[in-house]
Structure 1
Amino acid sequence: MAEFDRGPTDAFAELFSRVPDPPDEQAFWFDWGPIFYRGRLDGSARLLVVASDPGATERIAGRTLVGDAGQRVQGFLGKLGLTRSYVCLNAWAYAVHPSSAEEMKDRLDDTAQLKWRNEVFGKAVGPALQAVVAMGFMAQEAVRLWDDRPQQAVLAKVPHPSSHDPVALVNGWRSAVTTLRAVIDADEDGDNTGPNYGEVFEESDYRPIPRRDLPFGVPAFLGDDAWVRAKGTGHPNSVSRPAPDDGHTLLWKAPD
């Protein structure tokens, strides 16, 4: 039987349905709607990954962190020996325009956003949680505002997977892997003894998104953009938002 994500429980679906509208719709790709999670929502996660906001590929998949950035995150999880015991969430459920990112960071403490987001964070994890990784400044602010973050969980702050500073990115992730390998128990089918990151990010540091993290029936290439990166065009995702109508148009390319 093929593995796939059957979606949130009724309780999580109800919670997700209560997501507040962003404080400034013009700062977000609002019309594309919210994206909420990827991974385990049943409290079994040993690691919670918090990133900033979903991208275009995430809209296609209906799951977060599945595009190029998500495939980098999957490689990070693999280096920790995690094949399933993780959950990925975001500071914002709606995609933020990059030009508005700093301004929206200062709106993460808006009352409705703060209450809803912290409820999601708290409900998504349980006693098994061993670490929280906050990826990028938006995620780090959201985690800072999470007042009842489980204190048994080690907090690691690292650059966002789409960071424009490749040196800081690979150095930060290498250091986090070293630290977290001593903290997080690997899954039975995982291996946390393999190579850490080198001096630059390599294709071998990516991993495809597992089928168990995606809805039933998505095409086999969704969650694996190695074929796009191999072209070296500078745009590493199979899904893009074309200007000037990026608020209402997505382009999705299949492999040749």
Structure 2
Amino acid sequence: MSHPFDPGYVAEPFLTLCSEYPGADVYPPDQFRTEWGPIFHRGRLDGSARILVIGQDPAQHESVIRRCLVGEAGRRAQGLLRKLGVTRSYVVINTYLYSVYGSVKARTRKDPRLVDYRDRWIHALLAGGRIEVVLAFGRVADEAWRFWKATPAGESIDVGYAALTHPTQPESASNGDKVKLAEATTALLRNWNKALQAVAPRVQHPDVPTPFIAYGDAWADDDRIGIPEFDFPAGLPAWMREQDGWARRVGPDDLAKRRNITIRIPKGVLT
């Protein structure tokens, strides 16, 4: 059985970008979990990507796998990409290289060193002229794109663009309230429908031509789909790709949780 995988950062400019990333002097440790290292991307770096997705910041699953948007948010985003007919030709980066700890100050968000390094990634991914659509999940991702568009290089780029509600915003906003969760989910899906209708005409080279089918008012069974094996580093266990919940920040206080990511193989994997 063949196991396709992502070969990683094998060519320029990504080799240099991965060797010149900013650290704690740019990403303050009181605002970011810099101790877990930077997470750079997920998807195609060979110039074949047609959609660029900008996420927010890595969670614990991403810190283990070293790829962006690999948890529940990633599966929901994957379903959205499929509605555009894009099953392979995409690339994902985050607004921030490191997981957010607490909140990010405005001064940090606008630090030229942080912004300039992120802009180098966006420029590298758009340089070939093959990206047709950019999707930004969440407010800070939208801000990241607007910062880029204000640069001389950004002003000359013509791509479809949509700012979307973050895939797991309903869970974070509802705080366990089922009624609020349902309402927030409906609002998210309406936001996504509007965005899809706006950018779908700009996707001129889908992997699989797909007629537009709108989301309903709640998640349907096939709205979230698995992330393909070819997006991950070689040899990653299948259970890390197929479900959530195997990585948790554990500890009696915030500092202990920051120091610890506990990995537990899900039930059913071992007999």
TM-score surpassing 0.5? yes
Q: Distance in 2 between matches of 1:223 and 1:38?
A: 13
The residue identity in structure 2 corresponding to 1:240 is: R
CA distance in 1, matches of 2:39, 2:108: 19
Q: Residues 27 and 34 of structure 2 are in contact (CA less than 8 Å); yes or no, is this contact kept in structure 1?
A: no
Supply the distance in 2 between the matched residues of 1:106 and 1:201 (Cα, whole angstroms). Answer: 37
Task: Give % identity.
Answer: 33
Instruction: State the partner residue of 1:234.
Output: none
CA positional deviation for 1:171: 1.2
Contact map agreement 2:159 2:202 (CA 8 A) in 1: no
1:92 positional shift: 0.4
Is 1:249 paired with 2:251? no
**Letter paired with 1:139:** A
Question: Unaligned 5+ residue runs, structure 1?
Answer: 229-236
The SS at the match of 1:87 is strand
What's the counterpart of residue 29 of structure 1? 33
Q: Tell me what 1:18 maps to.
A: 20
Confirm or deny that 1:156 pairs with 2:162. yes
In structure 2, the partner of 1:233 is none
Q: TM-score with structure 1 length normalisation?
A: 0.88
CA distance in 1, matches of 2:9, 2:144: 22
Q: Which residue of 2 aligns with 1:100?
A: 103
Q: Which residue of 1 aligns with 2:217?
A: 199
Counterpart CA distance in 2 for 1:252 and 1:173 is 33
Q: Is residue 180 of structure 1 aligned with residue 199 of structure 2?
A: yes
Q: Deviations over 1:185-226 (max 9, x none)?
A: 3534x242263211112342111111110011011122322x
Moved more, 193-202 or 134-143: 193-202
What is residue 246 of structure 2 aligned with on the other side? 238
* Equivalent pair of 2:161/2:199 in contact (CA under 8 Å): no
Amino acid of the structure 2 residue aligned with 1:151: I
Residue 59 (structure 1) shift: 1.2
Residue correspondences, number: 242
- Would you say the 8 A contact 1:32–1:247 is kept in 2? no
Please identify runs of 4+ aligned residues in structure 1 that moved more than 4 A. none
Task: State the match for 2:179 in structure 1.
Answer: none
Match in the other structure for 1:76: 80
Q: How far apart, in 2, do the equivalents of 1:23 and 1:186 lie?
A: 37
Q: Is the 8 A contact 1:181 1:192 kept in 2?
A: no
Q: Deviations over 1:65-115 (max 9, x none)?
A: 101111111111111111111110011010002x314x2x55222111111
The two structures have a TM-score, normalised by structure 2, of 0.83
- 1:119 maps to a residue whose letter is R
Q: Distance in 2 between the 1:203 and 1:197 partners?
A: 11
- Counterpart check, 1:167 vs 2:166: no
1:48, 1:132 within 8 Å by CA — same for their partners in 2?
yes
Name the structure 1 match of 2:135. 133
One of 214, 217, 231 as aligned partner of 2:235: 217
Q: Which runs of 5 or more structure 2 residues have no equivalent in the other structure?
A: 171-183
